[in-house]
Amino acid sequence: MSNTKAIAITSENQLDNILQQHSKAVIFFAARWCEPCKQMKPVFDGLAQKYLNIAFALVNFGNNSNTTQKYSIGALPTAKLVNKGKVVDQAIGPDKNQLEDAVDSLAF
């Protein structure tokens, strides 16, 4: 199943289902009030369009406290990269190159 855009996560169960359906995923934790998150959102969306073999999930920090606690999110934005159900890498902060490099590594 290919994914051409990021999926907005509304529950922990929804995210768990996505991770079960896709061997590779990028979970992007952000908040509406977070300026660096707003800067990184277009980068995240562009990567979702580029890497069709990876699921891209967007978690709103304020609306998904269980999920943010489960993934130990302490700073925004944070991207957690998941391979076969395990977090294998992360990108923290508004670093476009770090996020692109991490996703590129996950893709191959």
Report d(CA 29, CA 7) in Å as an integer.
Answer: 12
Number of domains in the chain: 1
Q: Is residue 32 part of a domain?
A: yes
pTM: 0.93
Q: Is residue 86 part of a domain?
A: yes
pLDDT tens-digit profile of 51-103? 999 999 999 998 989 999 999 999 999 999 999 999 999 999 999 999 999 99
Residue 60: domain span:
7-107
* CATH classification at residue 45: 3.40.30.10
Q: Is residue 101 part of a domain?
A: yes
Report d(CA 22, CA 54) in Å as an integer.
Answer: 7
pLDDT tens-digit profile of 20-64? 999 999 999 999 999 999 999 999 999 999 999 999 999 999 898
Q: Is residue 2 part of a domain?
A: no
Q: Is residue 53 part of a domain?
A: yes
